[in-house]
Amino acid sequence: MSPTLSELEARAAEKKAAFGGDAHIVCDNLVRIYKTEGVEVVALQGLDLLIQQGELVAIVGASGSGKSTLLNVLSGLDVPTAGVARVAGTDLLSMTAKDRLRYRRDIVGFVWQQTARNLLPYLTARENVELPMKLAGKARRGRAADLLDLMGVGSCAGRKVPEMSGGEQQRVAIAVALANSPQLVLADEPTGELDSETSEEVFGALRKANGELGVTVVIVTHDPLVSERVDRTIGIRDGRTSSETLRREGVAEEYAVLDRVGRLQLPRDFMNALDMERRVRLELESDHIGVWPAREEPSDEQ
């Protein structure tokens, strides 16, 4: 028997209360507006995102779609204008300066595209990995060497940055990001400056961090070698999550993202194929919603 309207409403209300639930990363209606010289740029316009603990996801989108803004918010570098952003139970909008420092030191690790931004050139790989541990007052003997080994760059331990290749530097950078056992690693175009073979090694290292240490990994990337090999790829368009690709046992399925108020972006080619514009007719069926081009009725034009 199909559910009554009130039953459907009750179910929807239950789901709303649980939005985000115990997800590791929760963004709910996230807004980030930049104001420069009186001009406002809305970089994130009500972005919703849920990522579970231990996931490895890629974020893709055209230049200017808001990917770096999102990563800056999640890394605690930038404060959103409105909405909810929560990582591992930490509310990123209401953090004090002290909380922010602790969050950036203990909860989250980062890997940037520019290798120079990740490592101090006058220190060896081992010293680079030890530095965040020393700053946090929890240096542990042997941990730096273990992490470098795990990332496949144990042989670089005694080398300074200019004595390593770009791919080795990025793998050392991942070891640095992991130094204080963060719950989340954020990587912004980590393979952007590398050739495909080296990209493979860097992606492999991130996957190892995820698989063996259980750390949640979020990678912003333009690199298909990365985005087509994770279980979930999230597409961002105009400051909102618009699509998701899920991969199970090698089969990729594309989804549109339905936001909390019911908006979804229909793919442009679907709309063009059926000449849909301005309004569509919806019909609720027991297991799907039908979307049809609007009938041409004279009353429509009044």
Contacting positions for ligand ATP (CB under 6 A): 34, 36, 41, 43, 61, 63-69
DSSP character for 103? I
Q: Which amino acid is at 282?
A: L
Q: How far is the CB of 245 from ligand ATP (least distance, A)?
A: 18
Quick one: 8 or 41, whose CB is closer to ligand ATP?
A: 41
Q: How far is the CB of 71 from ligand ATP (least distance, A)?
A: 8
Q: How far is the CB of 112 from ligand ATP (least distance, A)?
A: 12
Q: Could you write out the DSSP letters of every residue in 239-291?
A: TEEEEEEEEETTEEEEEEPP-TTS--PPPHHHHHHTT-BSBEEEEE-SS-EEE
Q: How far is the CB of 45 from ligand ATP (least distance, A)?
A: 10
Quick one: 118 or 124, whose CB is closer to ligand ATP?
A: 118
Q: How far is the CB of 221 from ligand ATP (least distance, A)?
A: 10
Quick one: 92 or 144, whose CB is closer to ligand ATP?
A: 92
Residue with tokens 């979930």: 232
**Strand 25-36's sheet: what is its strand order?**
39-51, 25-36, 82-87, 90-91
Quick one: 44 or 129, whose CB is closer to ligand ATP?
A: 44
Give dist(CA 31, CA 301) in Å, integer.
35
Task: Find how far residue 265's CA is from the centre of its chain.
Answer: 19
Quick one: 180 or 245, whose CB is closer to ligand ATP?
A: 245
